[in-house]
Chain A
Amino acid sequence: MRIFVCIKVVPDPERASEITLDPQTKTVRREGIPLVINPMDKNALEAALQVRAQQGGEVTVVSMGPPSVEEVLRQSLALGADRVALLCDRCLAGADTLATARTLAAGIEKLGGADLVFCGAESADGGTAQVGPQVAALLGMAHAVYATAFSLRDGIAEVTVKTEDGEKVLQGGLPLLVTVSREINQPRGIRFSEIVKARKKPFNVFTAADLSLAETCIGEQGSPTRIAGIADAKMERRGEILEGEPEEAVAKLMTILRREGAI
């Protein structure tokens, strides 16, 4: 079983209050904020490790990022992944979700293709939830998003996914890409003995040339998305004093609550 996990290294969401936006470049300022594995990607890795434990096979982590993410990505080896492929090249910078998906899909193909791909449903910084499905489309795979449960028996996967109304259960064969939500599992912690074992596991870096990707379809050049502007979302509490006698105030309050759909 060839299992892949797409991982993004993001600024620590616990320190989200320290993240600012650069109005000139319209990008996130990440300086000084520690990097971590995107939390939902940890769930994706855990799901992959559980499948490997039942079905055997190899778990490969694939990630696009600058050299500075290497130390964080090595944690995935200590968590149990068999190898890591970092797709790292200056010309990959500035990629939108489509260019990112093209790069990740090329990385997966370069490493022999996948029977099963797990991704976090969304990243803690971008939060678009687009990359997983785009990778699936580029690889010609079926996909399921926001999975809360996954099982695989006799080559048939059963995936429970969250919907706006509740949840539904999907069944399908492989190859398959699944994006997972936090509820799917409790990611394991790092055992120190695995840190030692990780020393011997392969950590390979691939450039755009290694992936045979044309510069026009990757990085900023290959990204159709243009950010027109950025603005801070302001959250404010709104207060309203209801004047008059208690009965009158209560009547006004009831009218407001009905109008706002609270009752």
Chain B
Amino acid sequence: MIDFRFTEEQDMLRTAAREFAEEVIAPLVPQMEETDEMPEEILRGLGERDFLALGIAEEYGGVNLGHVAKMITIEEVSRVSVAVGMMLQVMHLGIEPIVAFGSPEQKKKYLPKLASGEHFATVGVTEATGGSDPTGIETTARLEGDNYILNGRKVFITNAHVAHVAVVLAKTDEKEFSAFILSKDMPGFRAGRWEHKVGMKGCDTGELIMEDCVVPKENMIGKPGDGLKVCMKAISEVGRAGMAAVGLGLIKACLEASTKFANERILYGKPISRLQGVQFKVADMYLDYNAGMLLSYRAAAMKDRGERCDVEMAMAKYYVTEAAVKAAKLATEIHGGYGVMVEYATQRYLRDAAVLNPSAGTGDIQRIVMARAALS
């Protein structure tokens, strides 16, 4: 029997996340648009309200409410700010390899501070020479005594500057990829260039630079050669879930802004919501939100049950992020001239939507995953 209802506890989680988004984040969105920086009080609030503890076991300071819970909270945050939703989802992505593949010592050392928000996390895979193709990376890790020496440069890394901890993919041999937990207190590890994107203003994106960075041998996740498995499992089942949640929040925001405007804007002596042309646009958004929600939460529920869900997550990520781009366009059209004025949020939605496609695997990468499953 399929039960599509959220639990009472999940509903409460949504209420709590929405309250945080509306009361703490919403007033700071104009500031983020202006400065392209993430206000400290938002980052602090994410920790204080346990947003970062959701996927971490109680013995390591987490609340262990699972992947559906994470999706709910990211969706609610993204409904108000896609920029914060993106940073939040990548924090979860950075935590995931330690949760899923970390040793008990690594979990004990890193997870409590990541759960409380004292530290933030990210993942560093993409380089100028490879993102969609992770085997194209050039960062090296050379074993010297009890340490690995890492050299290389990661690009387009969300949370590059705010993260204290990063799970980084490097080559330990010509064709051997390994994952390491790096922290900013390690000599030779720092954030580099600050990227300015067309949208998601306030969301920290930049470089991670390793220059003769000394990483203790025990900071490798798994064993030499496990790196691709560790990073790709996290990206394909947690990163894509996060992007789907961000997209859902954005579609919801587009829908709400559009229905409000369409009900209030009078043309031809009546609200434009009475015009069929406008209704069709609203119907498309409404359908996409519901279809995307079903795809996304089904995949998250599978993950909570411990099932493999990379294909389901690829479908969710692809469908929702494409739909979010469409919803932002439709919302802007419904608003007419107002839609492109900075006083209205729709122009922000349009810019934010543009950033959804390349993150956590481009739309075309998701289609390859889907096609592979369909043709197998």
Binding site for B on A (CB under 8 A): 71, 74-75, 78, 189-193, 195-196, 199
Q: Could you write out 14 A-B pairs with CB less than 8 Å apart?
A: A71-B12, A74-B8, A75-B15, A78-B12, A189-B23, A189-B24, A191-B50, A192-B16, A192-B53, A193-B63, A195-B9, A196-B63, A196-B64, A196-B65
Give the distance to chain B from A42, nearest Cβ to Cβ, in Å.
Answer: 10
List the 3 closest A-B pairs by CB distance, nearest first. A190-B16, A192-B50, A193-B63
| CA of A196 to CA of B48, assembled, Å | 15
Contact A189 B16 (CB under 8 A): yes
**In this assembly, does B20 line the interface, its C-beta being within 8 Å of a C-beta of chain A?**
yes
Question: Which of A71, A192, A196 has its CB near the most chain B CB atoms (within 10 A)?
Answer: A192
- Residues in chain B near residue A189, CB distance under 8 A: 16, 19-20, 23-24, 49
Residue of A nearest to B51 (CB): A192
- Residues in chain A near residue B13, CB distance under 8 A: 192, 195
Binding site for A on B (CB under 8 A): 8-9, 11-13, 15-16, 19-20, 23-24, 48-51, 53-54, 58, 63-65, 69, 73
- Residues in chain B near residue A74, CB distance under 8 A: 8, 12
Residue of B nearest to A71 (CB): B8
Residue of A nearest to B115 (CB): A193
Give the distance to chain A from B117, nearest Cβ to Cβ, in Å.
Answer: 11
- Residues in chain B near residue A192, CB distance under 8 A: 13, 16, 49-51, 53-54, 63, 65, 69, 73
Give the distance to chain A from B361, nearest Cβ to Cβ, in Å.
Answer: 28
Interface residue from A71, A196, A199 paired with B11 (Cβ < 8 Å): A71
Taking A75-B12, A193-B53, A195-B63 as given, write out 19 further A-B residue pairs in contact, using a Cβ cutoff of 8 Å, ordered by the A residue number: A71-B8, A74-B8, A74-B12, A75-B16, A78-B12, A189-B19, A189-B49, A190-B12, A191-B16, A192-B13, A192-B16, A192-B49, A192-B50, A192-B69, A195-B12, A195-B16, A196-B64, A196-B65, A199-B9
- Residues in chain A near residue B12, CB distance under 8 A: 71, 74-75, 78, 190, 195
| CA of A199 to CA of B12, assembled, Å | 12
| CA of A74 to CA of B49, assembled, Å | 17
Residue of B nearest to A70 (CB): B8
| CA of A193 to CA of B104, assembled, Å | 22
Residue of A nearest to B65 (CB): A192
Main secondary structure of the interface of B (DSSP, over half): helix
- Residues in chain A near residue B11, CB distance under 8 A: 71
Contact B16 A78 (CB under 8 A): yes
| CA of A195 to CA of B53, assembled, Å | 12
| CA of A218 to CA of B205, assembled, Å | 62
Known: A78-B16, A196-B65. A191 touches B9 (CB 8 A): no
Give the distance to chain B from A81, nearest Cβ to Cβ, in Å.
Answer: 14
- Residues in chain A near residue B9, CB distance under 8 A: 195, 199
Known: A71-B8, A71-B11. A193 touches B16 (CB 8 A): no
- Residues in chain A near residue B48, CB distance under 8 A: 191
- Residues in chain A near residue B15, CB distance under 8 A: 75, 190
Give the distance to chain B from A41, nearest Cβ to Cβ, in Å.
Answer: 15
| CA of A190 to CA of B51, assembled, Å | 11
- Residues in chain B near residue A190, CB distance under 8 A: 12, 15-16, 19, 49
Residue of A nearest to B23 (CB): A189
Give the distance to chain A from B111, nearest Cβ to Cβ, in Å.
Answer: 14
| CA of A189 to CA of B20, assembled, Å | 7
| CA of A199 to CA of B23, assembled, Å | 26
- Residues in chain A near residue B24, CB distance under 8 A: 189
Residue of A nearest to B11 (CB): A71
Residue of A nearest to B58 (CB): A196
- Residues in chain A near residue B23, CB distance under 8 A: 189
Question: Which of B11, B12, B20, B64 has its CB near the most chain A CB atoms (within 10 A)?
Answer: B12
- Residues in chain A near residue B19, CB distance under 8 A: 189-190
| CA of A74 to CA of B10, assembled, Å | 12
- Residues in chain B near residue A196, CB distance under 8 A: 58, 63-65
Residue of B nearest to A194 (CB): B50
Residue of B nearest to A199 (CB): B9
Residue of A nearest to B10 (CB): A195
Interface residue from B8, B49, B58, B64 paired with A191 (Cβ < 8 Å): B49
| CA of A71 to CA of B218, assembled, Å | 46
Residue of B nearest to A196 (CB): B63
- Residues in chain B near residue A71, CB distance under 8 A: 8, 11-12
- Residues in chain B near residue A191, CB distance under 8 A: 16, 48-50
Contact B8 A193 (CB under 8 A): no
| CA of A199 to CA of B53, assembled, Å | 17
Residue of A nearest to B8 (CB): A71
- Residues in chain A near residue B73, CB distance under 8 A: 192
- Residues in chain B near residue A199, CB distance under 8 A: 9
